[in-house]
């Protein structure tokens, strides 16, 4: 049903008809003409009525700042997310919600210039999501993509300009982006928190938030014309790692049926979940650093005080943990052996992942210490593969080894998924972005995002026609995978699924094409490292 009311002639009778219509049609969509020739689309979800905004030249309507859980503040700090409070009337969904407290990238830094044009409002009251939909009615059953942002588990938000879902929605899918708890708010474990929880565990609040958001999608996405039975979970970097852990968890089972993992396979850059006991000790240490001994005292501290000093904060290494509830050793082992239920995957890495990740002051001493710490009895082989004798050589060795670890993790996961005969589509993004020292940075970590969302305009670069064309191809691949589990479509270069015998991947560059993985001792080394580390979870 379509209802349009002229803004200059709204009568009491007309308003009464509108309200009755909304109540009668429940989850159906309605349009109300608003100022500046925009249209406000009204939908009913579990918590109440929402109005989103459709731009005149767009086929998509966006609903911003929808609460999917209660504010995790005060008593609810470091507790599982709770249901949001319902509201009366029609809630305007025309502004993004606050983001989790965090240290934003320094002004003028590489990532600040690339992705964070403006600082957004921060608050612990951050559990909001955003929906872009092309649907005109609530019964269209559009495929859904839920995006989990990256940021090293301590930064990021679902409202970055590069994550604008309008262009993907124009291609026929519903796009959902979310905020979730980060850093100390999302991953703090502490023995006292474990004792007070029904599950006898702590940490992983960020994963619980993501599960809560996925349940919200199951219960509400039909109101936006989405299909709860066709949900793809997609993410990059830390978002990709989080998704991989959700793939292991029984708590997330049935909430999504496909996954897109960008630059974040388990083991990439030596990322593995920590044990609960280790994380609990870190939590006690963190409390001590802030001069307190109890969780009650920590809960009373203002959010900005909990962040404290950035250098000390980042050293804590907040990240998902093996808590025995959301993630268990048994789940990881089943996964590593190829016995865990798998789903269709689209997974890949960038050709120059580490150019934007490694600090330019990485010394020979730093490289030696890190190699010995990370690789233990395999360190000698590591130094043979990445020889260096000067600080300059060590910087390049660090960049190369980190990039190779991301590639190896993607290949390893593709091989695991093949064991269960689930089709996996593997890619390497290799387009060197124009501008800002392109020769050095190349296809850096995160650089594929603007292409996938078709949001090149969100970043100030001298984009070329080839970038626009590649963005259209990549976004079409992603949309097709969200729709069917297969990225292929008309007028697109054929993308074959990964096969261990052929080991082909899609090279996403100026001329997308299938290429064969070359025999590489370095990739095989990191795959061995991943397998050895996963054996420790037995």
Catalytic residues: 237, 353, 445
3-state secondary structure 119-143: CCCECCCCCEEEEEECCCCCCCCEE
CA distance 36 to 150: 35
Kindly state the tokens that stand for 449.
């995002």
Task: Check: CB of residue 525 under 8 Å from CB of residue 382.
Answer: yes
**H helices, E strands: number in the chain:** 19, 16
The single-letter DSSP state of residue 376 is: G
Name which of 409, 371, 122, 383 is nearest 261 in CA terms.
409
Q: For residue 248, which of 146, 333, 181, 318 has the smallest C-alpha distance?
A: 333
What Rg value do the Cα atoms of the chain yield, rounded? 23
**Would you call 223 exposed, middle or buried from its count of C-beta atoms within 10 A (0-12, 13-18, 19+)?**
buried
| Residue given tokens 């796009």 in the structure block | 175
Q: What is the rounded distance in angstroms from the CA atom of residue 244 to the CA atom of residue 254?
A: 14
Separation between Cα atoms, residue 275 and residue 251, nearest integer Å: 19
Four-CA torsion 247, 251, 253, 255, nearest 10 degrees: -100
3-state secondary structure 324-362: CCCCCHHHHHHHHCCCCCCCCEEEEEECCHHHHCCCCCC
Q: What residues are paired with 49 via a beta bridge?
A: 44, 90
Q: Are 320 and 208 in contact (CB under 8 A)?
A: no
Q: Which two tokens stand for residue 411?
A: 């290949």
3-state secondary structure of 335: helix
Length of the chain, please? 538
End-to-end CA distance of the chain: 57
What's the 3-state SS for 212-232? HHHHHHHHHHHHHCEEEEEEE
Query: Are the CB atoms for 299 and 77 separated by under 8 Å?
Result: yes
Contact yes or no for 416/338 (Cβ under 8 A): yes
| 3-state class (DSSP) for residue 39 | strand
Cβ(132)–Cβ(225) below 8 Å: no
Structure tokens at 138: 């609530």
| Residue 357 CB coordination number (10 Å) | 20
């Amino acid at each position: 049903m379509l209802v349009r009311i002229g803004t200059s002639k709204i009568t009491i009778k007309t308003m009464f008809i509108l309200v009755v219509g909304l109540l009668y049609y429940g989850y159906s969509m309605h349009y109300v003409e608003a100022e500046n020739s925009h249209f406000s689309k009204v939908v009913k979800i579990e918590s109440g009525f929402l109005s989103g905004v459709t731009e005149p030249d767009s086929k998509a309507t966006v609903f911003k700042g929808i609460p999917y859980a209660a504010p995790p503040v005060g008593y609810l700090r470091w507790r599982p997310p709770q249901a949001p409070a319902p509201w009366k009337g029609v809630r305007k969904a025309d502004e993004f919600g606050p983001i989790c407290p965090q240290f934003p990238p320094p002004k003028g830094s590489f990532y600040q210039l690339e992705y964070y044009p403006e600082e957004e409002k921060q608050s612990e009251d951050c559990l909001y999501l955003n929906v872009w939909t092309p649907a005109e009615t609530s019964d269209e059953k559009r495929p859904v993509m839920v995006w989990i942002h990256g940021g090293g588990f301590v930064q990021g938000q679902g409202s970055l300009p590069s994550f604008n879902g309008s262009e993907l929605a124009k291609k026929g899918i519903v796009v959902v982006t979310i905020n979730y708890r980060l850093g100390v708010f999302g991953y703090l474990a502490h023995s006292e928190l474990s004792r007070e929880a029904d599950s006898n565990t702590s940490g992983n609040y960020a994963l619980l938030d993501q599960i809560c958001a996925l349940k919200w999608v199951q219960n509400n996405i039909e109101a936006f014309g989405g299909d709860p039975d066709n949900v793809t979970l997609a993410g990059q970097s830390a978002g990709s790692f989080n998704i991989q852990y959700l793939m292991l968890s029984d708590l997330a089972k049935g909430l999504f049926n496909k996954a897109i993992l960008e630059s974040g396979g388990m083991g990439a850059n030596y990322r593995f979940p920590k044990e609960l006991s280790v994380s609990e000790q870190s939590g006690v240490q963190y409390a001590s650093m802030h001069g307190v001994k109890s969780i009650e005292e920590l809960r009373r501290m203002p959010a900005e005080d909990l962040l404290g000093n950035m250098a000390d904060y980042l050293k804590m290494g907040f990240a998902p943990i093996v808590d025995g509830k959301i993630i268990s050793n048994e789940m990881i082992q089943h996964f590593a052996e190829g016995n865990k239920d798998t789903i269709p995957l689209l997974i890949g890495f960038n050709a120059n992942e580490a150019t934007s990740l490694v600090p330019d002051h990485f010394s020979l001493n730093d490289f030696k210490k890190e190699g010995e710490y990370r690789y233990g009895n395999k360190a000698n082989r590591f130094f043979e593969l990445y020889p260096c004798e000067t600080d300059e050589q060590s910087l390049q060795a660090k960049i190369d080894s980190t990039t190779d670890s991301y590639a190896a993790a993607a290949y390893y996961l593709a091989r695991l998924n093949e064991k269960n005969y689930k089709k996996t589509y593997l890619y390497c993004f290799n387009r060197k972005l124009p501008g800002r020292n392109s020769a050095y940075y190349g296809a850096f970590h995160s650089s594929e995002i603007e292409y996938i969302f078709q949001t090149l305009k969100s970043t100030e670069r001298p984009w070329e026609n080839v970038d626009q064309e590649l963005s259209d191809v990549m976004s079409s691949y992603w949309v097709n995978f969200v729709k069917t589990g297969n990225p292929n479509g008309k007028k697109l270069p054929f993308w074959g699924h990964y096969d261990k015998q052929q080991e082909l991947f899609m090279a996403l560059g100026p001329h997308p094409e299938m290429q064969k993985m070359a025999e590489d001792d370095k990739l095989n080394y990191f795959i061995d490292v991943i397998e050895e580390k996963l054996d420790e979870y037995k």
